[in-house]
Amino acid sequence: MIRAQRRRHLWWWLLLGPLILVGFAVGLSVRPSASATTARPGATPTQEASP
Amino acid sequence: MRDAFYVGYLRMPKRLRAFVTTVVVVLLLGAGAVALVATTQQPAPGDGTWDLSEKIKVTGTLTTEPYAMLTVPGKPGAPPRQFLLVTMGKVGGAGLDLPATDDAVSITGYPIARGAAGTVLLTVESPEDDVAVSGKPVIARDPVPVALGTATLDGEIVDPKCYFGAMKPGQGKVHKACATLCIQGGIPPMFVTTDADGAPAYYLLVDEQGHGLRGEALHALLPFVADPVRLTGQRERVGDLLRLRIDPRMIERR
Amino acid sequence: MTHAYRAVQWNKHKRTYDALIAVGVVLFIALFVVVGLLQHEGDHAAHPVTLILRATSTCAITLLTIVLAIGPLARLSPRFNPLLYNRRHLGVSTFLVALVHGGLATFWYHGFGVVDPVTSVFTTNANYLPAEGQRWQSWLHGFPYQPLGVFALIILFLMAATSHDFWLKNLSPRVWKNLHTLVYLAYGLIVMHVTLGFLQDDVSVVYAGLLGGSAAVIVVLHVVAGVRENIKEGQDGIANTEWVAVAKIDDLEDAHGKVVCLKNHERIAVFRHGDKVSAVSNVCAHQNGPLGEGRIIDGCITCPWHGYQYRPEDGQSPPPYTETIPTYRVRVEGRDILVNPEALPPGTAVEPALIHETVGEAGDA
């Protein structure tokens, strides 16, 4: 049934669409560059202990 | 047909043709804009180089501990220079089957250099052709380690071959698998961090006794390669290279 | 069509379409690589292989975004149908560009080492599960992103390999359509491949903005097109009695059709051709295209998607083609067109209903 297929299409996107967008947003939020520090020169605070 | 009905194998109606042409032009210009923006926003990958046009020849003393290295006397007043020896692939100097000798050795290889750090590695193409035992006595002694105290440092474990110039960029998540393979293949693990002044600082990673990381110790380190990590260990200066003595089981993620 | 399979049944439109794709892809990659090389001087330039990897990935995602936008756009306005006509060539191009990216990345990042490159793609970063005591953010940041790309590439390969009408026919349109629906999954995998890969190293908002923005557009387009169609179906839904009045004769222009939605039935396409009215299934036997949005050309109902044709009186493609679609009994009462919603077997001949024009209509005289 084409109508069923078309409706499945819509369900796919109602389900998959938000999933993709949420996955993307969560993935972005865990970037170390977005929160902490990186190893790139000049970006890393160094905790020194005394010799 | 007079109206805008479209059939692929017939001539396209005029009004439809104008619309489709507009859409195609917008798509092509849009794609061009995406390419331009995406390419110009790429961050600079650093000034590392792997000069494959000309080999340089360096004469010094071979050591295999902690890793395969060639030690060369420094300029007057400067510490001895140390070159890490690696192969053309993702395999460290141990794979070169270097001669066990205390005599001076000349090595010709392609230099890998990055900015102020200068040449840090030599890539040896063929041990037969590019490694020559001169038969002369030792010209550079093993430098004496200078202890610099313990420190906790934030940074990234890299493979120096890629980081200093073989890959650009040779760090970060995208490069993680390559760096892991390199270190697994015996290229010495290096730690990139910044010193108190914000300048880049590089530490060769060794175990708590100062030996190269191999076997189980190396495997404990591999999952942390290229990730943001925090290392605690004894710092020391050996020749012109810094080393950090660590317990690879104690690496922290940030 | 079914008559004989050739690699591609070329026509002028397909040639133009493919030439535009080829020129677009080559220009895109060349622009990216050349400008990328010029951007940072001397020793500061990125490695050319890195640039090619980035150019092909950006190009493949751009192509896929266009491929995915065409479907809902064509459902929102038939003026986009010419882009739909040869969309599969755009899809195959997407696969080829993605294949260059995947192959080169495997060779470059996983080759030359102590592990077989293909194995390495799956095993060198083995942080699939969080380590003991690891924060979930740190785990997700380090998650192996390469396999996500591999699975997406496998889906694109299956689609490209079965893109020919030969497979459409042999797998049946239904199975084929379902297989090709996997492209949505591939799209999700690719978004996560980039998010958990390149974007983890990136600090600018540009790349995140491009990817997130295009993903949002794709999702919204599909949902809007789907919801709009659902609403249309609900409004038009005519109760299912034996004979149903589906349209007025005066609403039907000559050579045009009308799509009729009956509750719990497939859609029906009602066509007027001269003084005759016929009803057939709205579903094209080729790729389920909406026949009711087509026209009658050379006496045949012509699908708006790929130009497949059927005779209105028996739902059969004219020889030498062999496609058939279900037909419906139809009659005219006064100015009303009535259809019997019971579908007849594909290819069943039905006498068209005749329109007897009455003299004295407004405008006549």
* Below-70 pLDDT ranges, chain A: 1-3, 33-51
- Chain B residues touching residue A39 (CB < 8 angstroms): 154-156, 158, 171, 192-193, 228
Asked whether the predicted pLDDT for residue B147 surpasses 80, the reply is yes
State the residue range of the domain holding C254: 244-354
Lowest mean pLDDT across A44-48, B45-49, B127-131, C306-310:
A44-48
Q: Is B179 left (phi over 0), alpha (psi -120 to 50) or beta?
A: alpha
**Total domains present in chain C:** 2
Q: What's the confidence (pLDDT) of residue A44? A: 40
**Mean pLDDT computed over C13-31:** 95
In a domain, C124, yes or no: yes
Distances in whole angstroms, Cα of residue C234 to Cα of each of B22, C248, C251, C314: 34, 20, 20, 29
**Mean pLDDT computed over C268-292:** 92
Asked whether the predicted pLDDT for residue C359 surpasses 70, the reply is no
In what side-by-side order are the strands of the sheet with C295-297? C295-297, C300-302, C309-310
Q: What is the pLDDT of residues B203-239, one digit of tens each?
A: 999 999 999 999 999 999 999 999 999 999 999 999 9
The SS3 of residue B89 is coil
Nearest to B6 among C35, C81, C124 (CB): C81
Q: What's the confidence (pLDDT) of residue C317? A: 93
State whether C157 and C93 are in the same domain: yes
**Mean pLDDT computed over B42-56:** 91
Q: What's the confidence (pLDDT) of residue B3? A: 61
Nearest to C229 among A6, A17, A31 (CB): A6
- Chain A residues touching residue B201 (CB < 8 angstroms): 46
The domain boundary, picked from C189, C215, C234, lies at: C234
For residue B61, give the DSSP letter: E
For residue B248, give the DSSP letter: G
The SS3 of residue B74 is coil
Choose among B164, B217, B228: nearest CA to B193: B228
d(CA C253, CA C361): 16
State whether B121 and B153 are in the same domain: no
Q: What is the pLDDT of residues C147-178, one digit of tens each?
A: 999 999 999 999 999 998 888 888 887 888 88
Q: What's the confidence (pLDDT) of residue C237? A: 56
Contact C69, C221 (CB under 8 A): yes
d(CA C204, CA C226): 34
Estimate the share of chain C in helix, then strand, then coil, as percent rounded to the nearest 5.
Answer: 55, 15, 35
Write out the DSSP string of C33-79.
HHHHHHHS-GGGSPPHHHHHHHHHHHHHHHHHHHHHHHHHHHHH-GG
The SS3 of residue C331 is strand
In a domain, C359, yes or no: no
Taking CB atoms and an 8 Å limit, are B177 and C109 in contact across chains?
Answer: yes
State whether C250 and C337 are in the same domain: yes
Q: What's the confidence (pLDDT) of residue C273? A: 92
Q: What's the confidence (pLDDT) of residue B50? A: 94
Query: Which sign does the torsion angle of CA C13, C171, A1, A13 carry?
Result: negative
State whether B236 and B158 are in the same domain: yes
Average model confidence (pLDDT) across chain C: 89
Choose among B124, B95, B97, B127: nearest CA to B111: B124
Which residue type, as a one-letter code, is found at position B130? Answer: D
In a domain, B33, yes or no: no
d(CA B251, CA B172): 17
């493609």: which residue's tokens? C317
Contact B188, B84 (CB under 8 A): yes
Taking CB atoms and an 8 Å limit, are C28 and B168 in contact across chains?
Answer: no
The SS3 of residue C240 is coil
d(CA C56, CA C32): 9
**Mean pLDDT computed over B70-96:** 91
The band of C1, judged by pLDDT with boundaries at 50, 70 and 90, is very low
Estimate the share of chain A in helix, then strand, then coil, as percent rounded to the nearest 5.
Answer: 65, 5, 35
Q: Does B254 touch chain A (CB under 8 A)?
A: yes
State whether C48 and C98 are in the same domain: yes
Q: What is the pLDDT of residues C84-101, one digit of tens each?
A: 888 999 999 999 999 999
d(CA C149, CA C147): 5
State whether C34 and C163 are in the same domain: yes
Q: For the CA atoms of C100, C105, C111, C116, what is the dihedral angle to 10 degrees?
A: -90
In a domain, B37, yes or no: no
Average model confidence (pLDDT) across chain B: 92
In a domain, B79, yes or no: yes
Helix or strand run (H / E) with residue C337: strand C336-339
**What is the biggest distance separating any 2 CA atoms in chain C, rounded to whole angstroms?**
91
Asked whether the predicted pLDDT for residue B75 surpasses 90, the reply is no
In a domain, C1, yes or no: no
Q: What's the confidence (pLDDT) of residue C341? A: 85
Distances in whole angstroms, Cα of residue B132 to Cα of each of B101, B105, C5: 11, 6, 66
In a domain, C6, yes or no: no
State whether C212 and C253 are in the same domain: no
State whether B124 and B210 are in the same domain: no
- Chain B residues touching residue C206 (CB < 8 angstroms): 37-38, 41
Contact B244, B234 (CB under 8 A): yes
In a domain, C4, yes or no: no
Beta strands B241-245 and C295-297 are: unpaired
The band of C42, judged by pLDDT with boundaries at 50, 70 and 90, is confident
Contact B63, B81 (CB under 8 A): no
d(CA C349, CA C243): 18
The enclosing domain of C258 has a CATH number of 2.102.10.10
Q: What's the confidence (pLDDT) of residue C5? A: 61
Give C150→chain B minimum CA distance, Å.
15
Q: What is the pLDDT of residues C114-144, one digit of tens each?
A: 999 999 999 999 999 999 889 999 999 999 9
In a domain, B110, yes or no: yes
In a domain, C2, yes or no: no
d(CA A51, CA C177): 69
State whether C260 and C314 are in the same domain: yes
Q: What's the confidence (pLDDT) of residue C239? A: 59
Asked whether the predicted pLDDT for residue B136 surpasses 90, the reply is no
State whether B150 and B127 are in the same domain: no
Estimate the share of chain B in helix, then strand, then coil, as percent rounded to the nearest 5.
Answer: 25, 35, 40
Query: How big is chain C by its Cα radius of gyration, in Å?
Result: 26
State whether C273 and C336 are in the same domain: yes
Contact B194, B155 (CB under 8 A): yes
Choose among B225, A9, A1, B80: nearest CA to C262: A1
The domain boundary, picked from C182, C204, C234, lies at: C234
State whether B211 and B243 are in the same domain: yes
State the residue range of the domain holding B242: 146-253
Give B178→chain C minimum CA distance, Å.
5
* Percent of chain C's residues with pLDDT above 70: 93
Highest mean pLDDT among B28-37, B40-49, C201-210: B28-37
State whether C230 and C110 are in the same domain: yes
Q: Who contacts B35 (Cβ-Cβ below 8 Å, separation ≥6)?
A: C28, C29, C31, C32, C35, C55, C58, C59, C62
Query: Phi and psi (nearest 5°) for C183?
Result: -60, -30
Q: Who contacts C241 (Cβ-Cβ below 8 Å, separation ≥6)?
A: none
d(CA A21, CA C187): 11
The domain boundary, picked from B93, B112, B133, lies at: B133
In a domain, C17, yes or no: yes
Asked whether the predicted pLDDT for residue B187 surpasses 70, the reply is yes
Taking CB atoms and an 8 Å limit, are C188 and A21 in contact across chains?
Answer: no
In a domain, B6, yes or no: no
The band of C363, judged by pLDDT with boundaries at 50, 70 and 90, is very low
Asked whether the predicted pLDDT for residue C3 surpasses 60, the reply is no
State whether B172 and B78 are in the same domain: no
Asked whether the predicted pLDDT for residue C281 surpasses 60, the reply is yes
Give A51→chain C minimum CA distance, Å.
31
In a domain, C62, yes or no: yes
Q: What's the confidence (pLDDT) of residue A38? A: 41
Distances in whole angstroms, Cα of residue B88 to Cα of each of B61, B92, B122, C308: 21, 9, 9, 58
**Total domains present in chain B:** 2
State whether B105 and B158 are in the same domain: no
Q: What's the confidence (pLDDT) of residue B139? A: 72
**Assembly ipTM:** 0.94
The SS3 of residue C290 is strand
Beta strands B118-124 and B81-87 are: parallel
Q: What's the confidence (pLDDT) of residue C9? A: 72
The domain boundary, picked from C204, C234, C264, lies at: C234
State whether C137 and C44 are in the same domain: yes
Helical ranges in B166-250 per DSSP H: 176-184, 215-221
State whether B114 and B155 are in the same domain: no
In a domain, B21, yes or no: no
In a domain, B172, yes or no: yes
State whether B60 and B99 are in the same domain: yes
- Chain B residues touching residue C142 (CB < 8 angstroms): 173, 176, 227, 253
The SS3 of residue B3 is coil
Subunits next to A (3 or more Cβ pairs <8 Å) are B, C
In a domain, B30, yes or no: no
State whether C163 and C261 are in the same domain: no
Q: What is the pLDDT of residues C49-84, one digit of tens each?
A: 999 999 999 999 999 999 999 999 998 998 998 998
The domain boundary, picked from B133, B165, B199, lies at: B133
The band of B196, judged by pLDDT with boundaries at 50, 70 and 90, is confident
Nearest CA in chain B to C67: B27
Distances in whole angstroms, Cα of residue C180 to Cα of each of B104, B185, C88, C157, C186: 66, 41, 10, 11, 10
Highest mean pLDDT among B195-199, C133-137, C225-229: C133-137
State whether C295 and C210 are in the same domain: no
State whether C228 and C256 are in the same domain: no
Lowest mean pLDDT across B61-65, B138-142, C219-223:
B138-142
The enclosing domain of B241 has a CATH number of 2.40.50
Asked whether the predicted pLDDT for residue C365 surpasses 50, the reply is no
Give B134→chain A minimum CA distance, Å.
40
